[in-house]
Structure 1
Amino acid sequence: MATPTARKRLPLHTKIAIGFIAGILAGLAIHAGGITDLAWVQAFTTYVTTPFSKVFLALIFMLIVPLLFSALVVGIAEMGDVRALGRIGWKTLFYTVVLSAVAVLLGLVLVNWLQPGAGVDPALAQQLLADNADRAKEIVASVGTQPRGIDMLVSIVPDNVIAAASSNGSILSLMFFAVMFGIGLVLTPTPQTEVLKRGIDGLLEISMTLIGLVIRLAPIAVFCFMFNLVSIFGFDLLIRLGAYVGVVVLALAFHLFVNYSIALKIAGHSPVRFFKGAQEAMVMAFSTASSNATLPTALRVAEEELGLPRRIARFVLTVGATANQNGTALFEGVTVLFLAQFFGVDLSLGQQAMVMLVCILGGIGTAGVPSGSLPVVALICAMVGVDPVGIGMILGVNHFLDMCRTTLNVTGDLTLATLVAAGEPDLGAGETAAGP
């Protein structure tokens, strides 16, 4: 007699999609019924959905520092050849700058052509600005603490590694130390450092295992995120800001499916095969709105689905989680010009060029966490004479756009890793990049 087969479980990304849709529908029901202010609704958001959302992200961020440090150190140490590290590093930097520049330029062209700021109802804009004034001012206030110009470059070198590890704004400093530490391991081939290397490798495995356990809570967390957002704003906000959202999504989609496909095709890879292999990481990025939270999934997808060499995948994806954020750079450029159009500030080509350059740097230096780009947007607005408090108008749709641009960021990291892996002399069987 045949034994009954075990019931097939839904994959995680399907559960996340279900949670996402359920959150939207539940939020719309609350908003349409006009019962947002009822006591039980307030209690549900205050004591259930909001705390769960915060705990979920806190659990992930708790493990991000050991993950980033160990992955980068091990990735560099596994290269074994400092000259190879230099070649891969320069290729990573080159492709990062080129892809980010193309993304920002695309966004600026579309926002100048479609003029999304001219289609926003001024009365609604002022209402949203007033409703979100406190939140916007908090974001703007943090701008003053951010280093600028040459200070931004100098601040990458930490004077206190422990302090850098405890600050989200100093994640690049921690990564700089990890790079130096990894180079030190390569340059010090002794039995003692081999033991240390194995220990750090074990730290990486533990970090990824723990984050994998936390990610299982993602379907519930995504429901909470979307319920909170939609129950407050409903479809009205999305419709009123539809022009702005449409331009951002159009630019992100064009860069994702057209520009990345062209880059992959030029490098001799199949875009269809690439996107098929990367879909799990893309869904996770869209759901969590965090490049750092998606890093474990992206690392696994790069090795198992795209067949990228582990040493290159770990190095490029770990660096890319913070330094290669095409979607963030594009979003920042479109948002600044949108706010300039709304407030009637006419930006010259020179000013728009400055916006483009700062957005490229902002995409490199923005933390890969939800809403990490908002302080950068406020900073750029102040630089070009646009009231930074205007970002209060976009806070209602920021979560959705954050999910979209994070999807582009993570896909861009995988694209970058694929491009960097192409032509490396040590790619052998089982360690080949996604082929044509």
Structure 2
Amino acid sequence: MSPQLKMLLGIGVGAAAGLAANGLAAGAPWLNWVIDHLTYPAGQIFLRLLFMLVIPMLFSALVMGISEIDLRHLGRLGARTLGYTVVISTIAVLIGLFLVNVLQPGEGLPDALRDAARGGAVTAAAAPADASPVALIIGMFPDNVIKAAASGDMLALITFSLFFGVGLTLTRTEAAARLRETIQGLYDVTTRLIDAVISLAPIGVAALLFTMTSRLGVHILVQLAAYVGTVLLGLGVHMFVVYSLSVRFFGGMSPIAFFRGCRVAILTAFSTASSSATLPTALRVAEEELHLPPHVSRFVLTAGSAMNQNGTALFEGITVLFLAQLYGVHLPLSKQAIVMLICILGGIGTAGMPGGSLPVVAMILGMFNIPVEGLGLILGVDRFLDMCRTVLNVTGDLAAAVYVSRGEPHLSGQADDTQGAAAEGREEQDKGERAPSGEDGGKRDA
């Protein structure tokens, strides 16, 4: 059975059994015993497995994402890529937060059911007491990184990881190279473990959904449908409005031509739900369909597959605020700004694999005392939403490549490139008698 069918089976069994138990035996002693001794512990173990992998995954992914970029040779190419990524990711998170505050998909749950949903909730860490801008900036720089990791201080951990990645990039010694290989190994092992935990998702989702639906009944499914609609609306607005404007005005390309050229990469991203798995297809689309310079597309798409996660950042922001609304946890604008910043920076450290954003979401929930049990609801629909947000991530990488390519001097138009290549070929032919064959081979290789 494919993973998708297993997940659907877990969703169906857990939700149907929970709804049936709620309708036939709500409040019965035997049902409470099943919840307290079977489904609730199983769901909690699954969530704690995700929590367990948050710190090593974030640290290794951020460090490797930064260290793989040669800071000495970034120049304009890297600066424009980084600036574009930050701006577009910020817009994505703002769209998500705006939609959640306006549509409020998590509101409407009766207070009695909300109290039942909070029953037995366990959180991982507390949000910072002082959320002023000055305190937030100071708190981003930890005085003890071990303490920051142990207390779940995401901003401090992300800042340290970024600094460590920059230092590893600038240090060109054999010992630093071995350390880089070690951290790469940590990243590989962590992503493999996350993949193994996600493979247990059908059981974990079934247990979590049974616990939720047996306590809350059909009301929770209404809230879940509103959440899914909000996420899809945010992804659609960002993809077809923001990317279209970006490609047209910043990249000088027709949005219709852009989306037509990206269709193969979009289908691959939707089917695999993995930015990393879609990278080879995206590279081919950038060079053959969009006609972008190879050195630009390879740099932007390779870095973007790990760092330019617009869809993931949007999804994380909507998910955190939705669950806060669902459980009645009030997040003022100051705390929403912290959520936005974490989502933007956390997008850099999100593994480009199915379910890679779930540990980050779990940690953010713990920071703001939002019950992580709500993640069980999200897991029930996460596979489909993961496929959709991966489409946004991959399309965003291609849109970034279009923007950065426009600043390259030799990309003045495909026709001009063709004419220039033909003229260069004629010139090389004229010089053929004077140039040794080895030099010609060297020019072709270059």
TM-score interval w.r.t. the shorter chain?
Answer: 0.5 to 0.7
Deviations 1:360-390 (A, max 9, x none): 54233268224845875x9xxxxxxxxxxxx
Q: In structure 2, how many angstroms separate the alpha carbons of the residues matched to 1:50 and 1:336?
A: 20
Cα 1:94–1:116 shift into 2, 3 Å: closer
**Identity among equivalent pairs (%):** 22
User: Could you tell me whether the CA contact under 8 Å between 2:7 and 2:202 is conserved in 1?
Assistant: yes
**SS of residue matched to 1:369:** helix
Q: What SS does the corresponding residue of 2:57 show, helix, strand or coil?
A: helix
- 1:105-135 Cα deviation digits (max 9, x unpaired): 3445556xxx997xx5xxx834345556777
Q: In 1, Cα distance between the equivalents of 2:326 and 2:54?
A: 33
Question: Within 1, Cα distance between the matches of 2:23 and 2:174?
Answer: 67
1:262 aligned partner:
241
- Is 1:18 the counterpart of 2:1? The answer is no
Q: Which residue of 1 aligns with 2:183?
A: 200
CA distance in 2, matches of 1:89, 1:400: 34
Contact 1:302–1:414 (8 Å) recurs in 2? yes
Residue 54 of structure 1: CA displacement? 1.9
Measure how far apart 1:204 and its partner are: 1.5
Conservation of the 8 A alpha-carbon contact between 1:323 and 1:363: no
Structure 2 gap segments, 5+ residues each: 248-257, 287-296, 344-358, 406-446
The answer as to 2:46 corresponding to 1:56 is yes
Equivalent residue letter for 1:220: I
Distance 1:248 1:45, change over 3 A: closer
Q: 1:75-107: per-residue Cα shift (whole Å, max 9, x none)?
A: 211111353554433222111112222333344
Choose 203-212 or 141-150, whichever is displaced more: 141-150
Stretches of structure 1 lacking an aligned partner (at least 5 in a row) = 1-9, 283-297, 344-351, 379-390, 426-436
Determine which structure has more spread, i.e. the larger CA radius of gyration: 2
**Structure-2-length-normalised TM-score:** 0.65
**Equivalent residues in 2 for 1:12-411, closer than 5 Å:** 12-34=3-25, 36-39=27-30, 41-82=31-72, 83=74, 85-110=78-103, 125-128=110-113, 131=116, 142-143=126-127, 145=129, 147-168=131-152, 170-235=153-218, 237-238=219-220, 242=222, 248-266=227-245, 267=247, 268-270=258-260, 272-279=263-270, 298-303=274-279, 306-307=282-283, 325-330=313-318, 355=333, 359-365=336-342, 368-370=360-362, 372-373=364-365, 400=377, 407=386
Shift in Å, 1:167: 2.8
In the TM superposition, what is the alpha-carbon distance from 1:59 to its structure 2 partner?
Answer: 2.2
Q: Which segment drifts farther, 30-39 or 262-271?
A: 262-271
With over 3 angstroms needed to count, the CA separation of the structure-2 counterparts of 1:402 and 1:144, relative to structure 1, is farther
Number of matched residues? 359
After TM superposition, give the deviation of residue 67 of structure 1 in Å.
2.0
> Following the alignment from structure 1 to structure 2, what is the Cα–Cα distance between the partners of residues 218 and 334?
21
Root mean square deviation of aligned Cα:
4.3
1:252 touches 1:327 (CA, 8 Å); kept in 2?
yes
Question: Contact 1:100–1:360 (CA<8 Å) still a contact in 2?
Answer: no
Deviation at 1:186, TM superposition (A): 1.8
* Matches of 2:32 and 2:362, distance apart in 1: 24
